[in-house]
């Protein structure tokens, strides 16, 4: 299966062991005598291999024990951004987190990402997150006549915004940010990453429109450089660095 790491013994024998997952559940329908919206912790034991990912363990639960467990996933190898969740109190992609890296001797806690309304189990409402992304006008705004062939861009100019093009909109950064949790206004690190990708693109001329938005109340100055976002990013984007480049552009007036 796309990634169900069950046959990894082909690549060197791996022992199997039992691991406990402690999952924060949320039941929107109120089944089995629960109130609609009830939250509770539930533990599951699964047989796993060290090279299995947390996503494999979640699938083992869903497919073999409790089909009601709900989570999003698609690609299963860290490129679609569906399955950011809080695993042992840190935001990660379930499909990119190997059990062996988590000390499987202790229960692994799995919770939905924080700061967005929980819909069911590990599924949250992503709409506020995408709304912030849309707010920073995440599309090329060139000026001047459209050339017949491609716009030219040197490899060096292309390199300036390379890091922030990698974003998969998983929300791990934004939902790890203490300012985002407590401040209902702050649109969070991802929106700044999304803006950075265009602000530093030599083909774009909308940088001051975006910088103005980021200079706003809900914007970049709310960042307290906690570095949680950089640590959380599964794509290895230096989120804090991108934010500081945006801050510098605002103070220096130069991109």
Partner 1 sequence: MTNHEFDVVIVGAGGAGMRAALESSQRAKTAVLTKLYPTRSHTGAAQGGMAAALANVEDDNAEWHTFDTVKGGDYLVDQDAAEILCKEAIDAVLDLEKMGLPFNRTTAGKVDQRRFGGHTRNHGEAAVRRACYAADRTGHMILQTLYQQCIKQEVEFFNEFYVLDLILDSDPQAAADGDEVAVAGVVAYQLSTGEVHTFRAKSVIFATGGAGKVFKTTSNAHTLTGDGMGIALRAGLPLEDMEFFQFHPTGLAGLGILLSEAARGEGGILRNSEGERFMERYAPTIKDLAPRDMVARAMANEVREGRGCGPHKDYVLLDLTHLEPAHIDEKLPDITEFARTYLGVEPYTEPVPVFPTAHYAMGGIPTNVNAEVLRNNTDVVKGLYAAGECACVSVHGANRLGTNSLLDINVFGRRAGIAAAEYANSVDAAPELPADADATVAGLVASLRETVGGDGTERVAQIRKELQETMDMNVQVFRTAESLAEAAGAVKGLRERFASIAIHDRGQRFNTDLLEAVELGFLLELAEVVIAGADGRKESRGGHYREDFPTRDDENYMQHTMAYATPEGLRMDWKPVVVTKYQPMERKY
The footprint of ligand FES (CB under 6 A) covers 73-76, 78-83, 93, 95
**Which residues partner with 93 through β-bridges?**
84
Partner in contact with 93, chosen from ligand SF4, ligand FES, partner 1, none, beta carbon below 5 to 8 Å by kind: ligand FES
Task: Choose the one of ligand FES, partner 1, ligand SF4, none that binds residue 28, judging by a C-beta under 5 to 8 angstroms depending on kind.
Answer: partner 1
* Binding residue (CB under 8 A) for partner 1 from 143, 145, 149, 184: 149
79 touches partner 1 (CB under 8 A) = yes
Question: 108 forms bridges with which residues in the sheet?
Answer: 21
The span from the CA of 243 to the CA of 237, in Å, is: 11
Q: Which listed option, ligand SF4, partner 1, ligand FES, none, makes contact with residue 205 (CB within 5 to 8 Å by class)?
A: none
**Exposure letters 85-94 (e unless 16+ CB within 10 A, then b):** bbbbeebbbb
> Rounded to whole angstroms, how far apart are CA atoms 94 and 78?
9
Residue keyed to tokens 């169900």: 4
Residue among 124 and 223 whose Cβ is closer to partner 1: 124
Q: Cα–Cα distances in Å, from 109 out to 58, 90, 115, 145, 176? A: 12, 10, 18, 55, 16
Stretch touching partner 1 by CB under 8 A, among 38-46, 78-86, 109-117, 179-187 = 78-86
Residue 90's DSSP bridge partners are 87
Torsion of CA 22, 23, 27, 30, to 10 degrees: -10
- What does 44 interact with, of partner 1, ligand SF4, ligand FES, none (CB < 5 to 8 A by kind)? none
237 binds, among ligand SF4, ligand FES, partner 1, none (CB under 5 to 8 A by kind): ligand SF4
| Interface segment toward partner 1; rule CB under 8 A; list 21-29, 184-192, 207-215, 218-226 | 21-29
- Environment class of 211 (CB within 10 Å of its CB; exposed 0-12, middle 13-18, buried 19+): buried
- Phi/psi for 238 (5° steps) reads -80, 80
Please choose which of partner 1, ligand FES, ligand SF4, none residue 232 contacts, taking the beta carbon within 5 to 8 angstroms, the exact cut-off set by kind. Answer: ligand SF4
The residue whose two tokens read 């849309």 is 134
CB of 169 to ligand SF4, least distance (A): 5
Confirm or reject binding of residue 15 to partner 1 (CB under 8 A): no
**Least distance from C-beta 178 to partner 1, angstroms?**
26
């Amino acid at each position: 299966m796309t990634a169900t790491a069950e046959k990894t013994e082909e690549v060197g024998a791996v022992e199997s062991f039992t691991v406990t997952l402690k999952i924060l559940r949320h039941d929107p329908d109120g089944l089995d005598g629960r109130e609609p919206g009830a939250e509770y912790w539930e533990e599951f034991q699964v047989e796993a291999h060290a090279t299995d990912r947390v996503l494999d363990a979640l699938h083992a639960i869903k497919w073999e024990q409790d089909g009601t467990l709900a989570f999003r996933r698609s690609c299963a190898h860290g490129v679609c951004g569906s399955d950011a969740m809080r695993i042992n109190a840190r935001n990660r992609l379930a499909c990119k987190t190997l059990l062996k890296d988590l000390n499987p001797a202790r229960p692994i806690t799995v919770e939905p990402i924080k700061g967005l309304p929980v819909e069911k189990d590990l599924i949250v409402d992503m709409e506020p997150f995408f709304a912030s992304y849309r707010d920073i006008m995440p599309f090329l705004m060139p000026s001047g006549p459209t050339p017949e062939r491609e716009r030219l861009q040197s490899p060096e100019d292309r390199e300036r915004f390379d890091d922030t093009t990698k974003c998969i909109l998983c929300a791990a950064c934004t939902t790890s940010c203490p300012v985002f949790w407590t401040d209902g206004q702050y649109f969070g690190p991802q929106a700044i990453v999304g803006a950075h990708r265009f602000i530093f693109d030599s083909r774009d001329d909308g940088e001051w429109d975006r910088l103005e938005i980021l200079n706003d109340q809900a914007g970049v100055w709310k960042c307290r450089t906690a570095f949680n976002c950089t640590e959380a990013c599964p794509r290895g984007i230096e989120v804090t660095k991108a934010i500081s480049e945006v801050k510098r552009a605002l103070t220096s007036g130069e991109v």
